[in-house]
Structure 1
């Protein structure tokens, strides 16, 4: 693995113990379908996939993949067929949530080399004052939340991805600013939730079907279902999920 490719593992995803106080919190999307596990998210769009890395396994950390929604068979078939997964093991379940440990089949150089020209630029990111706390894998990239020491550190990070992929900033605030539940939702997710609620989709009995809400939003029913599931998962993670016991390691 090159220094630049190895840097993507280390930068932002591995906590820096010496950095205690951060200045900015950013939520953003990186649209790059070469990123790990994107093929799995594209194959099972109804599932919400959160990725973290296990650093006690040398220079190629294991993937810890937490999946909510989607059938177990569809998710595990997608993991088996993914080019960037060598092997996987289910290590815990809690209701509709399953956790997997996966061995990566590719180095980041092999994974991203066909799409990102500036792999060496990743080495500079490894020294940035930043911590990426959460990675949500989507069908076309990663949605992330990170802490940055100052505006310069964030600019270095965002500029790299703007040059090498597609970077979209969703939210940027000071770390002292409180975040109310729902602020992690995208504009489209908020619109979908609001429209579904106002039309009575969540009432018992329902006053509006999924198809009716989708027609109102001018999107397909499958796209609406994905947006609602991801929005609901985000709200659960921000609220009641913090009170649950952790899944077994």
Structure 2
């Protein structure tokens, strides 16, 4: 059974987010449900941005062949992007695990994605691929499209699960604490700040998918 995951990634953490860099009040939105294959050319809207300066900025990137305006309105422009998706670690992780991009919306700070995977195993492999590439998606929802009431996958990525498990094993949540975030960071081979952020996201995912939020039970 296929599974759909919604997640957020900082714009600077993957190449497409860096390429489609926009100003604070601008957004980028995927227009079509495009499978990310080698021959796919995505269509996307850019809102509240100067068309000429945006095209100039995009085409400075070495992996971009051309960004072409297709349709223009007062507050938004529709573009096609001819680029080499193989250089993007996030996109490559989606492709390698048979994912299909359903939606993607980007801002100056972050991108929010909705991706369909053929199985939960493929989604798990995608999470592993992201971890191997140094990308830590913040998962906000996981569900089966044909049965949205099925118990969710709890939204944890492999790096988040690893950090949370280690924190529990080393007594980080004990009273008194059995270790510090610095000691956890040394074990995981990442920075103290990265450990703190990873634990925060892990706990947010667990709370979101195991407790009623805003009166709704997931």
TM-score by length of 2: 0.51
Q: Secondary structure at the match of 2:59?
A: helix
- Of 54, 69, 78 in structure 1, the residue corresponding to residue 48 of structure 2 is 69
- Of 100, 103, 108 in structure 1, the residue corresponding to residue 86 of structure 2 is 108
Q: CA deviation at 1:170?
A: 1.1
- Of 148, 153, 157 in structure 2, the residue corresponding to residue 177 of structure 1 is 148
Q: Secondary structure at the match of 1:33?
A: helix
Aligned to 1:83: 62
User: Within 2, Cα distance between the matches of 1:159 and 1:44?
Assistant: 32
Which structure has more RCO (C-alpha within 8 Å, separation ≥ 6)? 1
CA RMSD in angstroms, aligned pairs only: 3.5
Q: CA deviation at 1:43?
A: 4.4
Residue 66 of structure 1 contacts residue 99 of structure 1 at CA under 8 Å; is this kept in 2?
yes
Residues 1:168 and 2:147 aligned together: no
Residue 50 of structure 1 contacts residue 135 of structure 1 at CA under 8 Å; is this kept in 2?
yes
Q: 1:32/1:67 Cα in 2 relative to 1: closer, same or farther (>3 Å)?
A: closer
Residue 35 of structure 1 contacts residue 142 of structure 1 at CA under 8 Å; is this kept in 2?
no
- How many equivalent residue pairs? 144
Q: Secondary structure at the match of 1:37?
A: helix
Residue 4 of structure 2 contacts residue 142 of structure 2 at CA under 8 Å; is this kept in 1?
yes
Q: CA deviation at 1:96?
A: 1.6
Aligned to 1:133: 102
Structure 1: state its 5+ residue gaps: 1-20, 179-249
Residue 36 of structure 1 contacts residue 84 of structure 1 at CA under 8 Å; is this kept in 2?
no
